[in-house]
Every structure is written in C-alpha cells, then in structure tokens.
Amino acid sequence: MDHLNNQSPVDLAVNIGGIQLANPVMTASGTFGYGREFAQFVNLDAIGGIVVKGISIEPRAGNPPQRIVETPCGMLNAIGLENVGLERFIAQKLPYLRSIKCRVVVNILGDSVEEYAYLAEKLSEHAGIDGLEVNISCPNVKKGGVAFGTNPAMAQAVTEAVKKHSTLPVIVKLSPNVTDIAAMAKAVEAGGADAISLINTLIGMAIDIDKRRPRLANIIGGLSGPAIKPIALRMVWQVANAVSIPVIGIGGIGTTEDALEFLIAGATAVQIGTANFYDPGAADTIISGLTTYLEQHNETSLINLIGSLDTGVLS
C-alpha cells in the first residue's frame, strides 16, 4: 500500500465496497480516457482511482457528429458509447493502467443482462482491475429499449448477474432520470451491489434555431458539469440515507468545495467528470484541497467527514 504514504498527518484513505483508495478522488468514466491522456496534467499515481471509459463486448463506433454541445455551466454529450471493446481494452489499454499506482475501475455497458454478465466474467480474469462499475443508463434492447437504470427490477437483475459472474467489487452507477432515486439504490443494494455511484448524466437537448434541427445528431444527449451539481448532491444525500453500502458522488464536481459537499452529504468518494475537460489538473487540486480542509478543521481522518451533514432544525 505504498500509495498510502502521505507526509501530512491527515488520512484520506477510504474503502469502497472492498476497493481501498488512497484518497476519495476518482475520475469519472468517459471523461478521463484511459488515464494516459492525462499523464501530463495530473499525478496519476496519486489519484484515488480511475474509472475508464465504458467498455462493451464488441467495439462501438458511437454516434455521428455533432456529439457535444456546450450549455450554461454544462455540456451535453451524445458520444454513443464509442469504445474499443473488451479485447482491445485488455490488450491495448490495461497494460498502461496496470503501470500506474492508483486503483482501476472498469465501467461496463451492455444491451442485455447477458452482455453485462459476460463482461463481468471476462474482466474478472485479468489482473490490474480493482473493481467494476456497471453503467445501467443503457437501453435494454430486450425490453424495448427502456434503460436498465429507470426500472428497479431490471437494475436489480443486472446487478445480480454481474455479481454472480464476477469476483471483483461491483459498483452500480445510477441514472438520475428517475422519479425515485432511493428506490433504485435499494434495488441494486438488494441485488448485491458492493457500492453505488451516482449520478450519470441527465437527459437534455439543444436546438440550432437557424437550421431548426437538434444540435446533436442523436437529438438528445447527457447533461453534465457544474449545472447539475445541486441535483446530484440531493440524490447522493437521498441514496446515502437509503442504503448501507458506500456511495460515490458524481456530478459537476470541479473544486475542493464541491467534493466536500458530496462527502458531507454522505459520499465515501467522489468522481470528477466534465471538470477534467476544462481543468485537467482538477483531481490533483482537489486531493490537496481536501488535506488542507481537514488540517484547517483539525480533523485527522477524512472518514469523520463522510455523512457529517447536520440537518437539525434550521432557522
């Protein structure tokens, strides 16, 4: 555990359903490539964990352009789950990830429960992977394309299948596009999830008023960035209060203050997403910012902070 060495008397280490992280700062799937892209901007060895771009069994080409649109304090993306596929991930991306010290979580996606199960099984065979993150925001083609993540029973089924076929800790990543996020969280907890991460993107849209066409070729896309932070924080708080497994907070986190809000709300770790695009050193900045905050507040361990929100009578 050499990566836990720390000059500061402050202990940032956390455990996410069996994955021991040197600190709670991870990078979110689809926003940090396969790590290497950021080697010049952050100390990859010092990050709590990297969640790689979502992997499917076969490579996917993704959606036609235009794939991204900037929105007020946010962005829409409709990448269409472009990825190199399982085989090339293992052959071409995993070796580099293995060479860095931080924890590596592989985000997986599929069109059916079977595909998730297959990915879980295959990835469990490889060293250098510390956990799986199950992206359930994908459409279930066998159920008419309804997203796994919008139906508690389907979400539970995927979770069970992945757990059954994998020896790795399993994080299930929730979609925010639901009426009752706590119900979704309870379903995946019942399905055996070791941890929950949230939120994935909110579904949004943008229109080119001169062409009177959607800006995204896919018409709709996923909204991310600071704009969604208040929604993400609310959901993380609700989920942390609804389940007893660890929760990873995601959504608009770009500063130490943002990360602290999620930790105080009950997240055991956080993931930095869109912020990596405009501030590629964000993870580093936040890790040292957390240390400073703890020192200033005379806390020796970050654990004390988690879920420390005081909701007693306010005036």
Ligand X SMILES: Cc1cc2nc3c(=O)[nH]c(=O)nc-3n(C[C@H](O)[C@H](O)[C@H](O)COP(=O)(O)O)c2cc1C
Residues designated as active site: 138
Closest residue by Cα to residue 277 from 79, 12, 143: 79
Strands 202-205 and 220-224: antiparallel
| Site membership for another protein, residue 165 (CB under 8 A) | no
Please tell me the number of Cα atoms within 13 Å of 96 on its side-chain side: 14
| Site membership for its own copies, residue 257 (CB under 8 A) | yes
Closest residue by Cα to residue 31 from 250, 212, 312: 250
# binding residues, ligand X (CB under 6 A): 24
CB 80 within 8 A of CB 66: no
28 binds, options its own copies, ligand X, another protein, none, Cβ within 5 to 8 A by partner type: ligand X
The residue range among 17-25, 66-74, 122-130, 178-186 that interacts with another protein, by the rule CB under 8 A, is 66-74
31 DSSP assignment: S
The residue range among 8-16, 18-26, 140-148, 244-252 that interacts with ligand X, by the rule CB under 6 A, is 244-252
3-state secondary structure of 269: strand
Distance CA 207, CA 42 (A): 35
Comparing CB distances to another protein, the nearer of 17 and 30 is 30
Distance CA 259, CA 290 (A): 8
| Site membership for another protein, residue 226 (CB under 8 A) | yes
Question: Binding to its own copies (CB under 8 A): which residues in 39-98?
Answer: 64-65, 71-74, 76
The contact mask relative to another protein for 249-278 (x = CB under 8 A, - = no) is -----x-------------------x-xxx
Question: Binding to its own copies (CB under 8 A): which residues in 212-241?
Answer: 212-214, 216-220, 223, 225-231, 233-234, 237
Peptide bond into 306 cis (omega under 30): no
Region of residue 219 (left: phi > 0; alpha: psi -120 to 50; beta: else): left
Closest residue by Cα to residue 184 from 162, 164, 199: 199
Q: Which of 93, 173, 186, 215 binds ligand X (CB under 6 A)?
A: 173
Which residues contact its own copies by CB under 8 A? 64-65, 71-74, 76, 150, 177-180, 202-207, 209, 211-214, 216-220, 223, 225-231, 233-234, 237, 252, 257, 260-261, 264-265, 293, 308-311, 314-315
Which residues contact ligand X by CB under 6 A? 28-31, 53-54, 77, 79, 81, 107, 135, 173, 200-201, 224-225, 228, 250-253, 273-275
